Structure 1
Amino acid sequence: MSSYSIEEVCQHIGSDSLTEKDLIVKKIASLKNADSDSISFFTRSSYAEDLKTTKAKVLIMREEDAYLWQGMTIIHPNPYLAYAKLTQLFNPRKRPEPSIDLGAIIGKEVKISKTSFIGPFNSIGQLSVIGEGVVIESHVSIGSNVHVGDNTYIHANVTIGDDVVIGGNCEIYASASIGTDGFGYAEHNEGNWEKIMQTGSVIIGNNVDIGSNTVIDRGAMDDTIIQSGVKIDNQVQIGHNCNIGENTIIAGCVGIAGSAIIGKECKIGGAAMILGHLRIADKTTVSPGTMITKSITKSGEKFTSIMPFLKHSDWLKFASKLKQFGKKDD
């Protein structure tokens, strides 16, 4: 079990140390489940009842909230951010020793850094480059001419298509698919479909996280681009030729259709849908379940289109009234 002094904790999160700097904490815990070995944090009034009964040894709080608790307190302007940093201190990433498993299939003229780990049953196509400190777990399929940047971590069963570029310090979780064909077809007069060959690729910046079972399609002609600092949750679909701006965060089950351009520092809630060829301004927030059907040009706004859930019988009454309201406008 890891343990740290209050002084070490304060240094790690960027707060002034307490006078009891040699005091030891052994774990991070919620207010409700903390004990005398724990450090916890307080962020919002909805946890006020837990604050009254917590047994934590020390709390991280905003200065304006410190009066709410009489115990030992570390002041920080963003306790949740401090908590995030502490999770890294108490749970450091354990990387395997550099090696190339004998069960890996390595193509011609592949360059692999001596500091990287290539696990069993991986396949790496010809002319690919694997940077310093990269970890590729197992059963990963990497196409030809792929570049993987330094210290990127690729979990098991990931598929990466040809010509994909992945920056440094990225993390790609199990069963993600990056750079496989986008959904492109041209319709014949007779109603059948002609496949459009997808000749672009995917370019991913630095410090990007991509969740399990997420799919990022390769571009039809131009590349699909995921800029630095983007965080993508599980089961997200990003269509061909999309461009996702720096530090945008996308929650699970979001669908973004082809050629959409998403600005910087956007927040897209779970199961939201964004139609193709739209432009979304910087710092836009899209609420969960919302469908965006036209471009957003003003930055910093929040959009919500989903209705509150109701009992089915109440929903039917509401839908009937809404239908009647529409007829009046006609």
Structure 2
Amino acid sequence: MAVAIATDLAVGSSSVINATCMALKPLQPYDYCVGVLSADPVAATATDVRGVAAAAVNITTVKAASTLRVISYLIDELTTCHGYYTNMVKSLADVLIDFDAGRFKNASLEISANATGVPMDCDVLLFEGNAHKDPITQENGENDLLARLASAIIDLLIMFSSHNKSAVLAFQPTYKLKRTSPILLAVDIAPALAVGSSSVINATCAALKPLQPYDYCVGVLSADPAAAAATDVRGVAAAAVNITAVKVASTLRVISYLVDEFTTCRGYYTNMLQSLADARVDFGAGRFENASFGISANASARPMDCDILLFEGNAHKDPFTKENGENDSLVRLAGAIIDLLTSK
């Protein structure tokens, strides 16, 4: 078949591409083949299938190198986020120590200064970084909400601790307070905070409005056994910090998994680039069979190796599925065009 189209492959650039892609049907999608090659100036000016094949290898090499750079950027950015979250885990541990010792103001300062801003620091870094990919945007958002909720409840507890009137109010239900300030509001709900678990949560979340979304607050706390069993705001605050700590630790594990998996993918793409470089040497020397073997044996499987690793890995996240698919299609196209030359 390759011999039969040889005369067509010298007619002109578009004819060369069209005839080459026609010869690859049905193994290679014709429209994809023509589209990719026609968009490349070198392929568009090629006068024979050898020129088209060389261009296809170059296109594949450029795309693989670009993907490798993005993976490296993302590894660096996720490594920075790993540091952020490691510090956040430590800060939350310190918060729990201060909290258990009754040092609520210290706990509040620690969580507000060293924890509440961390998830968004990571999110901004990933969103605005060189990789322009944020595989943990959901986790960052969840951690941000949890940390801010825990901090707000601790601050509410400080209000109660500063106004011991709440202990008196629990026995004077007819006492009226004007809801003119957050402190008065917090003191006013104190009697409700000793009624029962759901009442404690509802009253706590009501006191945090509008700074904290009420439905979110109730939903998160009610789903936690420790918070649901709390009999006062201190118990709810402790549960909120624990919920946050658990989620942060889980996110830290996901980041670690991602760094490990992307590091493996970086190795795949590094090997792929080396194989493509070797194939270009063989191709330039006219050793088409060697070039074909190098691509099929050492390059064509690498993008899907990365994709499967990410899809089935511990992180269960694949922000590179598009890039892996594009690289897979390109390397298979380049290999198929070289095979046309080996069959001549």
- TM-score normalized with structure 1 length: 0.21
Pair member with larger Rg: 2
Greater strand share, 1 or 2?
1
- TM-score normalized with structure 2 length: 0.21
Greater helix share, 1 or 2?
2
Structure with more relative contact order (C-alpha pairs < 8 Å, separation 6 or more) = 2
